[in-house]
Structure formats: C-alpha cells, structure tokens
C-alpha cells in the first residue's frame, strides 16, 4: 500500500512516540519523545500549524486537572498524609498480614477514587513500602496491591483517572449518569482484582507482623493537607454532579489547599512546586497532537464506522469487541494515546452509551496486564526502583495475566 509523504511522516512520528514510551531509548524521558515527534509534524509540513495549536489547546481541561491533582498529591506526600495512612494500616492490622493486605487494598482504593490512580502509584507506594519494612514483612504482595488497584478502581468516579477526562472530554456524563453506568462494573473489577491477588499471595500474607511501628499523630500541616484532599473530593463530586469543568475546579482546589498550608506554616510553596512532575504536561500535549494527526489520516473514522455498524446490529457484541481490543492495545501503545484515540473514535461515531463505556473500561483496566500499559504503572516501577525493589516485565505479566482478564470480563458483563 502506497502512503503519501504526510501520512508516512505521521505514522513515523507515532512509531517514534510508542518506542519512547515503552523503552525510553538512551534513557531520554518519555515527554521528549512525544513532544519532539509532535513538533516534527508541522515542521515537516505533515500537519497545519493551526491544527497543531488547536490540538494542543484541546487538552486544557486535562492539563488543569493534572496540575491540581499533582499539587494536591505532592502536598499530601510532603505533609506525611500517606505515611500516616500506611502506618495506620499496620497499626490496625493487629499483627495479621492478611488484615494488613485488606487495609492496604482499602486505602489504595480510597486514594485512587479521590486522588486518581497516579497518586496511588507515586505517593502511596513508597509509604506502603516503608510500612512493610518497618513491620518486617515481604513488601511485594502489598506493593502489587498499589499497582493493580490503581487501575482497577480508576473508573469509580470521573476524577479517579486522567484517562477518563481524555476519553470523554467535553462529553463527560453527569455524575448520576456516571454512577448508574459504572458503579456495578467498578465493584466487579475491584472485587475480582482483590480476589485474585488475595488467593495468589495467600501464603506470603499469612506471615504475621513481627513489629508494629508506633503510630504518630498527623502534624498540623498533615491535617490541613488531609482536609484539602477531602475538600477537593467534595468539590469535584459536586462539580461532576452539576456537569461543571472538572479540570478548572481541580486546579483551583489544589492551589487553594497548597496556599492554606503555606500560610499556616508561613512557608513558601516553591519547594513543593519543584517536586511536581511537570513533564507529564508536555507528554500529554504531544499525545493530543499525535492523535489529531492520526485522525487526519482517516484511520480513526474508518474504525468508528466499523464499530458503529457492529453496534447497530449487536450493541453487546460491540461492547465486548471494543472493550477487549482497547484493553489489549493499551498494553502495546500505552493507554494515554489509546485513550485519546478512543475518545476521538467515540466522537466520530454514533455509539450507544454501553459501547462508549466499554471503551473507557478497556482503557482503564487493560493496563493491568503489563508494566507498559499505563503511566501509573510506569510511575509505580520508578517508585519501586527508588526503594531498591525490582519487578521485571515478565514478573508483572505473570500476575497481570491472572488479574486483568477476570476484572475486565466482570466489568464488561455488568455494563
């Protein structure tokens, strides 16, 4: 098949980006590959500059959401909220490894639902590791909980995963509609993930805790940061119920929480802002451009037409096909670009709500198969390496191949 030069450049840029996301050649950060490939498109004449700028601007709500959540998560981490939660779990495990497993799973679920899956991967993981070392138990079973619940609980609320904003964009359903659509599938995914992990690690978590580290009270800053998390959760639930701008409200709530703590401590917020992972923003911006470029080739429209035709004859079959295909593709190309493409596909086709929901479930749950599936899992690996732990791709796949399929099947069945 002959490709015109512009189309060839676009697919070359996509290949470069996927390679950079999955393998990080020469240890160059992921955002450099994504943004560099995106910048190549207008420079090479493969994409009009106006289209390039429009695609960058299209992600403004996602950028605001990410900044607000990252600031809030870093604030909670710096003030010891996550360390306190992890030690609280150890203290209330009463010497039982099984009870500690259950408590870590519960804490991970709550953090994912209210602060997004990235917060669970980035800031809860080190706290759980420290708590496990203090309790003198093998940390990996509890650390795997952080990785898998980060994706399994990521569609309980729209705010639980940035990918949710990416898939639905301006067409985000009102909160009540969201809860009607996703409550049962979320419970199925969380329950299946818990059941498989509990059975898989039954021997390791049977080991009792030999030491129970003392539970220290939260500092004033920690209490204020925790209050900021709760306040943000309430604001976002209300905003979602009113179908308001989630990104803007997340940004405002995060900045307000940071300002309150800084004023109470009479300290500068600049050190906190330095620790925020700002590189996520150009990464996402580059992906918005690349997906828009792929849309210009007509591939997404062709897929949308095929899915629309299948949905007309069999909505149930279309849900299973789309959800499974997106889930598997997320492990090949990472769920951020796949989520953007799924969002474009959903906008290009007249699809039943069940099929749109299946696309989201695939984007959110699919990454639990491999380490390359989601940004949250990649960040989880980085957090582990900082603590001296190593989980290889095959190690993760051995667990993921048992955890992901039943969770995905349960969620799709109950849509």
SS3 sequence of 63-118: HHHHHHHHHHHHHHHHCCHHHHHHHHHHHCCCCCHHHHHHHHHHHHHHHHHHHCHH
The predicted structure's pLDDT at residue 3:
66
- Greatest C-alpha distance within the chain: 68
Phi, psi (deg, nearest 5) at residue 48: -60, 145
Q: Token pair 């450099």 is at which residue?
A: 32
Q: Is the dihedral of CA 150, 154, 160, 162 positive or negative?
A: positive
The predicted model scores a pTM of 0.84
Written as six digits, the tokens of 45 are 């004449």
Residue 148: strand, helix, or coil: helix
Q: What percent of the chain has pLDDT over 90?
A: 43
What are the tens digits of pLDDT across the range 269-296? 999 999 888 888 898 899 889 888 988 8
pLDDT tens per residue, range 350-362: 888 899 999 999 9
Per the structure block, which two tokens stand in for 312?
């007309």
Q: What residues have CB less than 8 Å from 22, skipping those under 6 apart?
A: 334, 372
The tokens 């596909």 sit on which residue? 345
Report whether 71 contacts 258 (CB < 8 A). yes
**Per-residue confidence band for 410, with pLDDT thresholds at 50, 70 and 90:** very high
Per-residue model confidence as pLDDT tens digits over 36-62:
999 999 999 999 999 999 989 988 888
- Interior/surface letters 361-387, b for 16+ CB within 10 angstroms, e for the rest: bbbbbbbbbbbbbbbbbbbbbebbeeb
Tokens of 202: 């039954």
How far is residue 190's CA from residue 53's CA, in Å, rounded to a whole number?
39
34 and 286 Cβ atoms separated by less than 8 Å: yes
Average pLDDT score, the chain: 88
Q: Could you give the percent of the chain with pLDDT greater than 70? A: 98
Report CA-CA distances (Å) from 319 to 307, 310, 358: 9, 9, 5
Rounded to whole angstroms, the Cα distance separating 62 from 68 reads 10
Assigned token pair, 201:
């690690």
Conformational region of residue 29, where left means phi above 0, alpha means psi within -120 to 50, and beta covers everything else: beta
């Amino acid at each position: 098949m002959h490709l015109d030069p512009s189309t060839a450049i676009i697919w070359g840029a996509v290949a470069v980006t996927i390679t950079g996301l999955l393998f990080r050649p020469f240890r160059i950060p992921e955002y450099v590959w994504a943004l560099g490939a995106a910048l190549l498109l207008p420079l090479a004449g493969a994409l009009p500059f106006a289209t390039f700028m429009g695609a960058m601007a299209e992600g403004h709500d996602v950028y605001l959401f990410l900044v607000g959540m990252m600031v809030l998560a870093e604030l909670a981490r710096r003030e010891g909220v996550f360390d306190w939660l992890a030690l609280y779990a150890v203290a209330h495990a009463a010497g039982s490894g099984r009870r500690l497993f259950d408590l870590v799973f519960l804490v991970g679920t709550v953090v994912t639902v209210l602060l997004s899956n990235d917060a669970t991967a980035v800031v809860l993981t080190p706290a759980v590791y420290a708590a496990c070392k203090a309790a003198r138990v093998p940390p990996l079973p509890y650390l795997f909980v952080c990785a898998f619940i980060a994706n399994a609980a990521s569609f309980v609320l729209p705010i639980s995963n940035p990918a949710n904003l990416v898939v639905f964009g301006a067409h985000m359903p009102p909160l009540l509609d969201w809860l009607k659509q996703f409550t049962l599938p979320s419970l199925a995914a969380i329950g299946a993930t818990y059941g498989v992990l509990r059975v898989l690690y039954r021997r390791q978590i049977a080991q009792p805790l030999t030491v129970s580290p003392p539970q220290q009270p939260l500092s004033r800053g920690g209490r204020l940061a925790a209050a900021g998390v709760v306040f943000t959760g309430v604001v976002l639930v209300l905003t979602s119920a009113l179908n308001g701008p989630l990104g803007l409200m997340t940004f405002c709530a995060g900045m307000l929480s940071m300002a309150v703590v800084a004023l109470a401590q009479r300290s500068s917020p600049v050190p906190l802002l330095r620790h925020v992972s700002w590189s996520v923003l150009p990464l996402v911006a580059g992906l918005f451009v690349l997906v828009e470029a792929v849309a210009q080739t007509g591939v997404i429209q062709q897929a949308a037409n095929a899915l629309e035709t299948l949905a007309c004859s069999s909505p149930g079959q279309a849900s299973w096909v789309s959800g499974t295909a997106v889930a598997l593709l997320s492990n090949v190309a990472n769920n951020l670009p796949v989520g953007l493409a799924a969002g474009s596909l959903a906008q290009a086709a007249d699809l039943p709500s069940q099929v749109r929901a299946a696309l989201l479930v695939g984007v959110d749950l699919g990454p639990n198969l491999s380490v390359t599936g989601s940004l949250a899992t990649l960040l989880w690996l980085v957090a582990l390496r900082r603590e001296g732990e190593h989980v290889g791709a095959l190690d993760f796949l051995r667990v993921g191949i048992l955890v992901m399929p039943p969770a995905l099947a349960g969620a799709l069945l109950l849509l």
